[in-house]
């Protein structure tokens, strides 16, 4: 099947032909998930960089309820890693979504 091969025009990347309705599902939900993941990732980075802020206080109080009190630098590091992971996840979801094309789209292959 043509859509499972490498593209013939020499560009990297795989194209998978899907029905139009499924293409819409992929586009809408992958974009939504990517946007939320990236914005949330930046919020986490913000919480890592600022000593104050709601997210950090929330994390502190939840950890406090478990009688844990991590140091500020450890908390910052965790927030930073979680933020970068969230952004990477958003990017990955979006990029994975771009390989699915509706029938008419992969035929022309600009």
Partner 1 sequence: MSLKEKDEHDHLGWMEEKQLSPIEKGYLFTLIWLDKRFRVVDYLELLETMYYRVNLQMPKSHTEQYNLDNKFWYWYPLYALGSFSTLAYVVAALSGALLGFYYTPSAAAAETGTVAYSQIAMIMQDLQFGFMLRSIHRWSAQVMTAAVFLHMLRVYFTGAYKEPRELNWLLGIVLISLTMGFGYTGYLLPWDQLAYWAGQIGVEMALSIPVIGEWVAQLVFGGFSLGAPTLQRMYILHVFLLPFVVTSLIAIHIAIVWMQGIAEPH
Residues that bind partner 1 (CB under 8 A): 1, 4, 16, 18-19, 21-22, 24-26, 28-30, 32, 50, 52-53, 93, 96-97, 99-100
Cβ 49 to partner 1 shortest distance, Å: 12
Taking Cα atoms as reference points, which of 104, 59, 99, 65 lies closest to residue 82?
Answer: 59
Nearer to partner 1, 75 or 93 (CB): 93
Nearer to partner 1, 50 or 58 (CB): 50
**Reduced to 3 states, what is the DSSP secondary structure of residue 101?**
strand
Least distance (Å) between residue 25 CB and partner 1: 4
The SS3 of residue 9 is coil
* Beta carbon of residue 108, minimum distance to partner 1 (angstroms, whole number): 21
The C-alpha R_g of the chain, in whole angstroms, comes to 20
Distance in Å, CB of 43 to partner 1, minimum: 12
CA quadruple 13, 15, 102, 40: dihedral, nearest 10:
-50
E-strand spans in 1-43?
Answer: 16-18
Q: Give the residue with the Cβ less far from partner 1, 41 or 97.
A: 97
């Amino acid at each position: 099947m043509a859509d499972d091969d490498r593209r013939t025009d020499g560009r990297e990347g795989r194209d998978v032909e899907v029905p139009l309705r499924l293409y819409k599902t992929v586009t809408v939900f992958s974009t939504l998930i990517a946007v939320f993941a990236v914005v949330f990732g930046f919020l986490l980075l913000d919480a890592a960089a600022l000593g104050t802020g709601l997210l950090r206080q929330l994390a502190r109080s939840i950890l406090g309820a478990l009688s844990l009190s991590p140091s500020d630098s450890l908390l910052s590091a965790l927030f930073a890693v979680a933020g970068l992971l969230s952004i990477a996840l958003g990017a990955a979801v979006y990029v994975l979504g771009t390989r699915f094309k509706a029938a008419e789209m992969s035929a022309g292959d600009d």
